[in-house]
Structure 1
Amino acid sequence: MKNLKRSFSVVCEPPASRINQANDMALEGRHAEAVEIYRELARSGSTFPYLWINLGISLTMLERLEEAAEAFHEAVRRQPSFAQAWGNLGSVLARLGRFDGAALALRQAVELAPSDLGARLNLARALQNAGDLEAIPVAEIAVQMVPQSAEAWCVLGDARLAFGDDDGSLTAYDRARGLDPSCLDGSNNLGLAYFRNGQLEESMSFFEEAVMRRAGDADAWCELGISRLHAGDVPGAIEALRASVERNPSNEYAHSNLVLSHCYSDGHTADDIRDEAIVWAKVHAQTGFELPPVHVASRDKLRVGYLSADFHAHPAGYLYEAMFPHHDRSRFEVFAYSNKDYADDVTRRIAGSADEWKVISDHSDQELAELVRQDGIDVFVDLLGHTPGHRLKAFGLRPAPVQATWLGYFGTTGMPQIDFILADRYVLPERHESHFVERAARMPGCLYVFQPPKLAIEPGSLPARSNGFVTFGCFNNLSKITPEVVALWCQVLRALPDSRMVLNRWPLKSMRVREWYASMFRANGVDPSRIEFRATSGREEYFRSYHDVDLMLDSFPFGGGTTTSEALWMGVPVVSLSAERFVGRMTESILHTVGVPELLPTDASDFVRKALELAGDLPQLEAYRSSLREKTVGSPLCDLPSYTRDLESTFEWMWENRRR
């Protein structure tokens, strides 16, 4: 928190010599000696109005923040109209992480001194850190007061970024840099704003420059790694994330992203993924402390707690919205713990369908664990794994007698405190159990369920009939589309010189990302002009893109999941090569469930053979086009009530087989 006000002024009243002596010491940086004199004067009953604020300033300079806060509290108690004291109190409380209290103090400072820009900016910062949207209008008033203040525009940009106004944040940062090109030096927020605006090229360039200027900046390395992962540069992402973790081993967020990035890598095995996850757990979640053993209450219903940051308009959020109402309330109680303040219509419907809804984004891990314990949760379900927004450290305190991970992440958490990972016989065969710290809890049917979108879009006719050539496609995240994947696809494309391919993902808006992928195809003997790079924005536009594709080619070792289900619903078959890890077997499970296992090749050469065979059989592709939606919707993949019953029976099995 900036702008701590100093007031070491010369006085001419008794005992002026002692006060001036202390002030001189403070001005010379001899704060410890100054503190002793200020305290001596305080004990003697000095009425000098600046005594307590000067004491607070010296204590602040010594990093004795709790004592400083007490001194500033005394200053405002003695003189409630002292704006400077209120401002300094707010600054110190903010440094102590007490943002609500800081905001209250800084409001007083602003009311007493409305023209004090520093106090107003500190108020905006405190409100932002307290999660209060009022930070934005407070910062907007600041830039209206002093439109030539680069700092004020930076604070406005930070507030807008924090509350999701990504376009507005970039506008503010542009104004700030126009006034002072160096104003954002040392901050990563402009790079984050680029990333959230989908400007991946600018984001990567920003963070590449940042780590060149500040090689020790672990946060910049982390954000560079995340940007590279979204751009499909998995080795570059791992390199940057590893650099971040080396510079700040306590950064659990960077380390989780490193674990996640291993899942996409051809160069890392399932055992490598497990080992990195175990390291994460030992470094970040092995506190040596667990809550006391749970007293298992005797009641008729099993109480299940779901924790996620995706209870909103999100592929996972749509599923929870549809699934929660199907829970058998005669046997289960549903508690939902949301690790995100943001709410939309999907959020509100999910909240309404849960028996208890709790927003826990401002809870510490200890507070969250104690809340789950107080709620009497029997089965506590992590829906995030190592993806953003997770609260694995709270699970590490073992607040519930049964703890499991499901759906949001498809690998081991590395945590012995999580008892089970939900799976099925395809994604986690018995021979793969050594890849997991958790025990496998296999559902009777498919691990996945698909909720078809509420869009009036039919599969349409086979585009190859009107185009005169076959179009392949892949709409998976680019992080799944590695050079090894492109090399295999190019074997298919070279064998069919007239064929085309469509890739569709938002990072392809970036010219740099398109060039990166174009170079991969070019290196494998395929002219990049045959590849169409799309970045559809809306949900309806995205689904209409399937009208231009005859046959989907899946990625490996991290295959499709939601995108596979979407393609089948749109009548487009998916050829998928299974891998020896959970994330590489999701499409296998889906294709078996829908009843089209013939789309699964046995190895890479069979992948090429099968893709070419289908591309040369337009009647078969038309048969898939006309039948796959009905087949998909009529399969267990879309039978949400039955799926929920299977999930419940799995929870009951876990309860019966819990650690005792």
Structure 2
Amino acid sequence: MTTQTDLPDSPATAMQGPAAADAFNQANAYFKAGQWAQARAAYEWALQQDPQMEAAALQWARCLVRLGDLQAARDAFSQLLRAFPANYSGWLEAGHLCRQQGVPQQAVACYNQAIALVPTRYEARLSLARLLEDQGQMDAGAAQYHHALTAAGADKNRLVHWRMGKFRLERGDAARALESMRQALLVLRVGQAQIDENEHAEMQMDLGDIFMRLGMTEDGHRAFERASAATSEATLVRLADLSFRYNLWQEAQAVLRRNVELHPDSDTAHWNLAHSLAESWNMQEALASLAQAEAIAPQPGAKSMRASVAGRTGDADTALRLYKELADEEGPGSKIHSSAAMSALYSDQLSAQEVADLHRQMFACLGRNARARSSFNNDKTPDRKLRVGLVSADFHHQHPVNIFMQPVLARLDDKAVEVSVYFTGVSYDAQTQLAKRRVARWVEVTTWNDSQLARRIEEDGIDILLDLSGHTNMQRMSLFGQRAAPVQATFLGYPGSTGVPNIDWLVADSVVAPVGSEGLFSEQLVRLPNSVFCFAPETDYPYPDFDPSHVERTLTFGSFNNVPKLTPHTVKLWAAVLKEVPGSRLLLKAPSFNDKGAVEAFAQRFLAEGIARDRLEFRGPVGLADMMAEYADVDIALDPVPYNGGTTTLQALWMGVPVVVKAGGNFVSRMGASFMTAAGLNDWVAQSDADYVRIAAAMARDRQALLSLKRGLRERLQACPAWDIDQYTRDFEGALRQMWVAHCQGQSAAAGKIKA
């Protein structure tokens, strides 16, 4: 017997299936549970039984939207509205879908149909106001905004202002968003004696977000503090997430701990605390909170969290195995593949070729049915001004992409290059505002799908689209796989080949990608003449005073690299160095070492290699300026393998600390060699583990020579071409021009090296 939870698989069993009403009810249950595929099938079944069931037709279209099948969803809305032309919600949501797909005129038509049907409702008028503002029609948008307020009436005016504020913030227009949010809060205060604490908290969060985007940090913090009076679990979780985005980690965790206190029987409360703790590198407590969540209910994301914890504690191979299992479960196109790819870079067990092959294998599917390069109509004049697009989420404080890219943005020749940033992120601070001022166009695209973004990139006439993320957070690899510009390249954000089809170029240098290594890259190579990264900090970090006492103190090796880089191979290698230099010590600094569990775990790993705890010092995170000052406590830095230090190595050198590095087999394991070679310190570059230990010991023995090097190291760097940011920017422009000329000449991106 067929039940409401056991729908027939095909029309062949229709006579045995449930009635249309029963199928509709079951579909609604699936929809409420977020089981979109099952809901879609059940709505389809209900419509087969009763084609005139209008509510089922609307819900069916909604399922297709949630499943991401947008073309099918448009067809479903067309069917709905042909059959039921007076369906207000159908016209409204069809308009939303058209706006999302980048066909604004059709969206306008849909919204106008909805308005004509029910002039007294505000939703379509407000949506039209949003769309008109998005198109730059501010006066027309303001008129519709006013009509929406009139339609909403006094009891709903706050909702109209509030939603308009959110729409404007999503577009990146924080100033206008602030106007709307202030109006919403004014209506709330004036019109209601009893204010719901959670609704008020939600509004305060949006207000705080706006303040933070505008650089009004103190006002933003006060708004977040007012929001902390909330009691709703969903509201508190959102507040914690927003706080975390703005680097308020301690505040976020305080909110989530309060959430657990208020909702002790909620598995999601424990889960969210566990997730926050893991992101803050508190691994032992994160696992304990995860266990509490699992004791209440099964956690579908538990394997992913355990993979993250494994990677963050230096067990890259376990992380890789778990991420691959999850990616296989989700199938081709799963973003978990990117987590697996990142884990592979840290693995002690994989060869350079195996890492490259794994990337190609995992991301080949992203290029299926991609747009042809020849379909773009950009003017192929080789020497004209170039329109360059940057896709990144990472223009914010302390992120390496921001640190390296800001000085370049400040120096690019605006007569040769026009830069547009397509910002996919959620974290904003003063550095975000600085980057916005330095580019010709800044587009907020965090909530956009790939189709919307690709259409905007083409409308902006982008010639070269640069990925600055690779497989890191908030990347858009699927966009690049489908091709959104005639020339596409990856730069800075990922230390190696992406494996993604249709990324034409990778920016490298001749050390991280030496001649003969081309087979490790799915992209063609454009090699900068000096080093792939140029460290030119825009903040003044006072140089340490290396007085004669440095020769007398205990020789201190050090690493400020994150824990995932401290692989078993690295620990064994560094232990060998300590054994070779009796009496020396090792200072390890990383966010994880705020966690006593992480400290104990690594102390035990070194003890297993014969290094006593009293030869190790562990330090947790501090602000960037304080961290840079701490390099004065280090005599020689040790580079990890196989994932070398990038920013950390360049910071160490800048602060007078030379680095022992090992030249590995691919980009990620040759960054240290690139930097030290560019600095003229080739004798610090090892070719093997034994060579690494020998070099470290030799450099440690001659303390006077070491002191002399340290005293003049920054001046030495500033005299090297690789630290000349003006020249580096010209070289980078040359790389862009080389890519463009190759495209104009119809070349298949011949690999090359630009001229110094």
Distance, in Å, in 2 between the alignment partners of 1:199 and 1:184 is 19
Give the aligned partner of residue 308 of structure 1: 392
Determine the structure 2 residue equivalent to 1:318: 403
TM-score (ref. length: structure 1): 0.79
Matches within 5 A, 1:223-238: 223-238=305-320
Can you list the C-alpha shifts for 1:4-58, whole angstroms capped at 9, x where unaligned? Answer: xxxxxxxxxxxxxxxxxx9x98999798999999999x9xxxxxxxxxxxx8699
Q: Which residue of 2 aligns with 1:200?
A: 283
More divergent stretch after superposition (245-254 vs 311-320): 245-254
SS class of match (2:268): coil
8 Å CA contact retained: 1:166, 1:196: no
Q: Aligned equivalents of 2:593 and 2:336: distance in 1? A: 24
Distance in structure 2 (CA, Å) of the matches to 1:245 and 1:287 = 21
Instruction: Measure, in 2, the Cα distance between the counterparts of 1:159 and 1:568.
Output: 35
The superposition leaves residues 134-181 of structure 1 with CA deviations (integer Å, 9 ceiling, x where unpaired) of 99999999986xx77656645654565566654344333323322331
Determine the structure 1 residue equivalent to 2:574. Answer: 489
Out of 64, 89, 111, the residue aligned to residue 70 of structure 1 is 89
Find the residue that maps to 1:431 and give its secondary structure. coil
TM-score by length of structure 2 reads 0.70
Please provide the CA RMSD for this pair.
4.6
Runs of 5+ unmatched residues, structure 2 = 1-18, 29-42, 66-76, 81-86, 93-113, 123-150, 171-179, 214-219, 748-756
- In the alignment, which residue of structure 1 is the partner of 2:608? 523
CA 1:184–1:126: 2 relative to 1, 3 Å: farther
**1:515 to partner: Cα distance:** 1.5
> In structure 1, what is the equivalent of residue 250 of structure 2?
167
The aligned counterpart of 1:586 is 671
1:249–1:448 distance in 2 versus 1, CA, 3 Å: same
Superimposed CA distance per residue, residues 448-494 of structure 1 (whole angstroms, 9 cap, x where no aligned partner)? 21114412233523665342x21111112221111111111111212
Alpha-carbon distance between aligned partners in 1 of 2:233 and 2:311, rounded to the nearest angstrom = 32
Structure 2 vs 1, CA of residues 56 and 633 (structure 1 numbering), >3 Å: closer, same or farther? Answer: same
- Secondary structure of 2:712's aligned partner: helix
Q: Secondary structure at the match of 1:430?
A: coil
Residues 462, 625 of structure 1: 8 Å contact kept? no
- Residue identity opposite 2:668 in structure 1: V
Question: What residue identity is the alignment partner of 1:398?
Answer: R
The 8 Å contact of residues 468 and 492 in structure 2, kept in 1 or not, is answered as yes
Q: 1:486 to 1:636 in 2, by over 3 A?
A: same
**SS at 1:576's partner residue?**
strand
Distance 1:357 1:502 in 2: 41
Alpha-carbon distance in 2 for matches of 1:62, 1:645: 51
Q: Summarize the Cα distance change of 1:153–1:553 in structure 2 as closer, same or farther, 3 Å threshold.
A: closer
Matches within 5 A, 1:5-84: 70=89
Whole-angstrom CA distance in 1 between matches of 2:696 and 2:645: 17
Residue aligning to 1:243: 325
Aligned mates of 1:36, 1:580 — CA distance in 2: 60
The answer to whether residue 531 in structure 2 is matched with residue 456 in structure 1 is no
- Whole-angstrom CA distance in 1 between matches of 2:415 and 2:245: 41
Structural mapping, 1:414-425, within 5 Å: 414-425=499-510
How many residue pairs match? The answer is 609
CA contact (8 A) 1:336 1:357 kept: yes
Name the CA shift for 1:437/1:302 in 2 (closer, same or farther; >3 Å).
same
Show CA shifts across 1:500-545 (max 9, x none).
1101111111111111211111011110221101113111221122
**Matches for 1:256-335 after TM superposition, within 5 Å:** 256-289=338-371, 293-297=375-379, 298=381, 300-313=384-397, 314-335=399-420
Q: Say if 1:448 and 1:114 are closer, same or farther in 2 by CA, change over 3 A.
A: same
Aligned partner of residue 335 in structure 2, secondary structure: helix
Aligned to 1:465: 551
Q: CA deviation at 1:582?
A: 0.7
Secondary structure of the corresponding residue to residue 607 of structure 1:
helix
Deviation at 1:382? Answer: 0.9
Alpha-carbon offset, residue 597 of structure 1: 0.6
1:10 counterpart residue number: none
Q: Distance in 2 between matches of 1:556 and 1:253?
A: 26
Please give the alpha-carbon distance, in whole angstroms, between the structure 1 residues aligned to 2:279 and 2:649: 26
Task: Find the partner of 1:561 among 643, 646, 649.
Answer: 646
> Which secondary structure does the structure 1 equivalent of 2:275 belong to?
helix
Q: Structure 2 CA distance, aligned partners of 1:434 and 1:121?
A: 57
The aligned counterpart of 1:596 is 681
1:27 and 1:367 map into 2 onto residues whose CA distance is 32
The one-letter amino acid of 1:303's match is R
What amino acid does structure 1 have at the position aligned with 2:266? C
* Cα distance in 1, alignment partners of residues 546 and 268 from structure 2: 52
Over 3 Å counting, the alpha-carbon distance change for 1:633 and 1:211 in structure 2 is: farther
2:419 partner letter: V
- Aligned amino acid, residue 335 of structure 2: Y
The answer as to whether partners of 2:401 and 2:468 remain within 8 angstroms in 1 is no
Shift of 1:272: 2.2
Q: Would the aligned equivalents of 1:333 and 1:355 in 2 still touch at CA under 8 Å?
A: yes
CA contact (8 A) 1:120 1:142 kept: no
In structure 2, how many angstroms separate the alpha carbons of the residues matched to 1:504 and 1:521? Answer: 15
What does residue 446 of structure 1 align with?
531
Distance 2:91 2:573 in 1: 67
Superposition deviation, residue 223 in structure 1 = 3.2
For 1:583, what is the secondary structure of its paired residue?
Answer: helix
Percent of pairs identical after alignment?
27
2: CA distance, partners of 1:499 / 1:294 = 61
Cα separation, partners in 2 of 1:428 and 1:114, compared to 1, 3 Å: farther
Q: Which residue of structure 1 lines up, in the alignment, with residue 259 of structure 2? A: 176
Name the structure 2 match of 1:544: 629
In 2, the alpha carbon distance for the partners of 1:456 and 1:140 equals 35
